[in-house]
A and B are shown apart, each in its own frame.
Chain A
């Protein structure tokens, strides 16, 4: 068959190109522009080359924020993924209660980030918050504005409360797609509950769980609003994650150059991890297709 060659077809791509240019490429290039220049205000810029990148790579502040960020993402993934699977396994498979559970689980997902932050900020206050007051009343030392451990616990529990539903819903969808015959065959084969989970449920959920891990990783790695509203990054810098630090640097200190270099590296890290996930996921699919 002869291919029809018509260069005018490029015009069809134009609208998308314009849209992407305005939504992503131009803003990103502005950041690139800032990252290689220095400014002392008055809209005067001086060429700085890769100086800011060099500075950021040797900045203890950035490495600390990155460390906290990795710790945070690792902890919430380690809690939310198993907990989400556990919740999904225990949800009713059909009937009114299944719908009830689904609605109940979706509720936290519908609440805007800053509202979630505010809810927990108040909830945890020792003077008027139910959680803070109760903990204080039973004699547990709890003050998220002063205590490192309390601050981390609050931020983590808040994220778990907000996002475990997402993992549970995805895992539930994976479980629902397993035909009954699998469970029946497992009974006939006298498989233990663990074997059913290990050899039937987990493999069937693998695809959606990869998506869940990817989504939760990216979201938690970029988290800003919730911890900012609750702890403001404190006490000290103990809950200052990458985004919070970035905003402090860019808008608080108005260090545009270093902040721009920082955000480009931040962006590259997320891109790299997402690419790794994508590759692993497509390889999983390929294994299915053989």
Chain B
């Protein structure tokens, strides 16, 4: 187990990067605290896997350093880093039995046979494959193979970190919950540093203590699920996390009032006059619809009933606004005004969140 430090790290797949756009991973400084469970969340191609492969040593970064507990391992081979990694598609050694597969990482390190046998038993119990230990791995289903990959990742107790690269993509939905729960239990019991790459927000939010959101090669926010929900640092975070995502409305900001298409919106604090292209971000949970009265004039275009609640799609001067109606609350007849709960309104300048005066940074 170790603290992992990224120091000025950046990576480009081109040999001679000229502009920032050439970097798959833009300059990054970050500490991954020892024993925490992180989720690395972002859309496909945002640099998550690049970052993961740099940590595990499968990729050499173009610049910067990576330290494990203060030791520079930037150029150390994967083997020396003592890391476990599970990949998106199951990797099993076809000609070996399940037992041999699970024992492989330990045997390669010359572990004592009795210890290997007991570890393999423990892991087999954890992934629910005790009954198939002596089967050849060839011909097992994709989920079973992925469980073996997970098992091989977890079989070593002394790893510095466990890295998961979208490991549950090929697993059946009901198994996903079960395996994710097992991973959390494992984390609680053994306290490994875990980094879990995913593009599924539910997976990220349920698995991790801290979620790292990446966008276009950059880490845009690191925070607890609650922070990501209430105070998205970048409009991408607001949009990407939440279902549906945060509404983003172009607005003029003056002190504690925003103006959207001629209508005043009360903000939760004093924002001064931020420079740049200013926008308001409001999660659908904080949007209320009413017939007449104050608020932003909107036209309701569609109502989607998703069971637990209703999602209302509306249009305000060409900008889409989504609202979530609380359970049991009906949509007012002829609803044509939207109001926002000031607690749920965030202000953005050039896509980045502006802190109100007086908020602790």
Contacts and interface: CB of A to CB of B under 8 A. Distances in A.
A210 to B, nearest CB: 15
User: Which residue of A181, A190, A191, A195 has the most chain B CB atoms within 10 A of its CB atom?
Assistant: A190
A195 B108 contact: yes
Nearest to A204: B94
Contact of A187 (B78, B96, B109, B136): B78
Contacts of A43: none
Interface residues of A, number: 20
Contacts of A204: 94
A192 B78 CA distance: 13
Count class of interface residues, chain B: 20 to 34
B56 interface: yes
Contacts of A192: 108
A184 B149 CA distance: 12
A187 B57 CA distance: 9
Contacts of B94: 199, 203-204
Interface in A178-201: 179, 181-182, 184-185, 187-192, 195, 199-200
Interface string A263-290: 0000000000000000000000001111
Contacts of B85: 184-185, 188
B89 A190 contact: no
Contacts of B139: 287-290
A204 B93 CA distance: 10
Contacts of A289: 139
A287 B140 CA distance: 11
Interface of A: 179, 181-182, 184-185, 187-192, 195, 199-200, 203-204, 287-290
Given A188-B85, A199-B96, A203-B94, 15 more contacts: A184-B85, A184-B91, A188-B83, A189-B104, A189-B108, A190-B108, A191-B104, A199-B95, A200-B93, A203-B95, A203-B138, A287-B138, A288-B138, A288-B139, A290-B139
Interface of B: 53, 56-58, 77-79, 83-85, 87-89, 91, 93-96, 104-105, 108-109, 136, 138-139, 149, 152-153
